Amino acid sequence: MTATTPLHTPEHDPYTPKEAQELHAERTGRKLAAGVFHPRQLLVSLPDAFRKLHPRHQLRNPVMFVVWVGSVLVTAFTVLEPSVFSIAVAAWLWFTVLFANLAEAVAEGRGKAQAESLRGLKTDTVARRLATNGTAGTEEEVPAVDLRVGDLVVVEAGQVVPGDGDIVEGIATVDESAITGESAPVIRESGGDRSAVTGGTTVLSDRIVARISTRPGETFVDRMIALVEGAERKKTPNEVALTILLSTLTIIFLLVVVALQPMAGYSGRQISVIVLTALLVCLIPTTIGALLSAIGIAGMDRLVQRNVLAKSGRAVEAAGDIDTLLLDKTGTITFGNRQATELIPLPGVEQEELAAAARLSSLADRTPEGRSIVDLCVVDHGLPAEPGDDERDGEFIAFSAQTRMSGIDLGDRQVRKGAASTIRVWVTSHGGNYPDRADDIVERVSAEGGTPLACAEIDDDGRARVLGVIRLSDVVKPGMRERFDELRAMGIRTVMVTGDNPLTARAIAEEAGVDDFLAEAKPEDKMALIRTEQEGGRLVAMTGDGTNDAPALAQADVGVAMNTGTSAAKEAGNMVDLDSDPTKLIEVVEIGKQMLITRGALTTFSIANDLAKYFAILPALFVALYPQLDKLNIMRLATPESAILSAVIFNALVIVALIPRALRGVRYRPMSAAGLLRRNLLVYGLGGIVTPFLGIWLVDLLVRLVPGIG
């Protein structure tokens, strides 16, 4: 076995990168299926929709507040002078307000199930707090709610972590399934970028000492509950700007409707307050006003379905406007574990001879790289994976970071594999020559982005010689080039950040298809790159998990911290990925763009809707005063009353019809801004004009059958 066994070896991680990717896709698919809109959600959320009829809640939405006031006004006039028409208008105006509330209630209700499961984590945990004289001090049992920032707590196998913190002593496997939904336990240890633990998770083995990093009521679980319920959701800048625009349009249409009364009076006819109010509700942008909040909540919900916690809606919105994406190479673009991909023999050495030596020298190397060399020899050359009887008697030399090589001694024969510089010293110290040809191969493999390992032997005659070079490659994840092509189509520039040398970084960047790369990157280099991009007016997103990533995460417009990372990283970022999957940043950008596209599409539909209703209703309303308008009454609405009531009914029903679209989001396809605008205008602009004409006409066919209206 190795002298120093890395934590992330197959013994500790039962899944290969491919298997882990498949499991993640399967889990993500289940979450997406769970988040799909079901009609039953309308019925379940109906009580919440009635509770939201309170005027204090309606005041938050200026457009719907106008509708609420209009409903009250029409109801009052209906009580004074009841008629079939006034009762019907009053009822459908209240339905309009109720359906708007229903859209928001359904969006919020989708997060309540997850919030309830998270509340189950907030048990009355008893913490084993260490006295102030350090980890060697005495313990005292205190309620978890009494813990303060900086307290040291002991957690052993079978116990629940009492609060968010960082491990300062020990290593343990932790069950985080309650937070992440992932059943496989994870390893947490002190002194690294995987030191963070979350309150409510369970330690499965060993003993750790953690330093509490959050106050009671402000833990990760507390914030997650508030966010998935929408309790702390604040309007984003774009939402505020759109609300101002909608309020302005409402005021404009209010002035238009008010101006109709003197025009009608001049013509010798008065229009009732009920008709004017109904007309106002039909003309103002009630559709997008009703759905705006639901779109924002649904955007946050789509992130939660993918196990990403956004600390604010602003972060989700910013993700949709990202211009530059900083991606770490290891674990994001590549699998992160180098694998043997080729054996390159020196002149005069047969491929099979090199394969046999490479296998022998790697039998004692239990690192992922060593195991991949054995696998390559087994698959490509048919050699046995386990030592034979004659080989078991040999002296195995385990790989270590100090010697930087591994091997086996079989009597007088010695076989070694390791870093080229180490093998050079080993060969020359035993009287052999290190050929220039080996140096040429090592330089070529390095220039192509691989990691070269030299293989050498001392044969039975005592002759030391180099046999060849083993190429290790950090394999680029499948489909990455296609994903980067999609990002490029969106106008997003991708930059790979790595600590590798420029030659290796360039080779990986070209294979993956990124636009640019930053090699030998230090924390200050990341900060400088982000600031340079931002000075050019671009928005930047990046991922990170270590304390050294915290400044860059805080500087980036969208900083996605890994849940496995340190508390400093999670505090600095404005999103936390519970799966700790660095490629999730690409999904986050797509979700942000989908939210912006959905808002833009439904706004286009709503405004086009209002313009269509304006030209559909007014001719029918004033045809008695101005017979010339009959030519514009293309729907041939029966009476002014049926025209108004049909428009009010359609106005309410279209909100319900668009709730699923607001929650699911408009389907996102990578395209330019010009292409996106063209699609919006053709689908939602033209559709918003045609739909009211068809919808109001169909409703009018039914309304005209009602006595007292038709």
Residues in binding site:
365, 369, 399-406, 417, 545, 549
Give the C-alpha separation, 390 to 413, whole Å. 13
Could you write out the DSSP letters of every residue in 492-507? -EEEEE-SS-HHHHHH
Give the C-alpha separation, 699 to 620, whole Å. 15
Contact assessment for residue 492 and residue 322, using Cβ atoms and an 8 Å cutoff: yes
Give the H or E element holding residue 688: helix 686-703
The dihedral through the CA atoms of 41, 45, 46, 52 has a sign that is negative
Q: How many residues does the chain have?
A: 710
Q: Give buried/exposed letters for 49-63 (b at 16+ CB in 10 A, else e).
A: beebeeeeebeebbb
Q: Annotated catalytic, 474?
A: no
Which member of 328, 474, 610, 700 is catalytic? 328
Q: Give buried/exposed letters for 535-555 (b at 16+ CB in 10 A, else e).
A: eeebbbbbbbbbbbbbbbbbb
Contact assessment for residue 357 and residue 455, using Cβ atoms and an 8 Å cutoff: yes
DSSP summary character for residue 549 = G
What residues form DSSP beta bridges with 172? 188
Contact assessment for residue 556 and residue 533, using Cβ atoms and an 8 Å cutoff: no
Give the C-alpha separation, 675 to 491, whole Å. 12
Sequence-ordered list of residues with C-beta below 8 angstroms from that of 439, at least 6 positions apart, any chain: 420
Tokens 């205008």, residue located: 681
Binding residues for Mg(2+): 545, 549
Nearest to 104 by CA among 668, 688, 655: 655
Q: What is the 3-state secondary structure (H, E, C) of 274-317?
A: HHHHHHHHHHCCHHHHHHHHHHHHHHHHHHHHCCEEECCHHHHH
Nearest to 178 by CA among 128, 233, 222, 120: 120
Give the H or E element holding residue 44: helix 40-44
Contact assessment for residue 659 and residue 102, using Cβ atoms and an 8 Å cutoff: yes
Contact assessment for residue 261 and residue 271, using Cβ atoms and an 8 Å cutoff: yes
Active site amino acids? 328
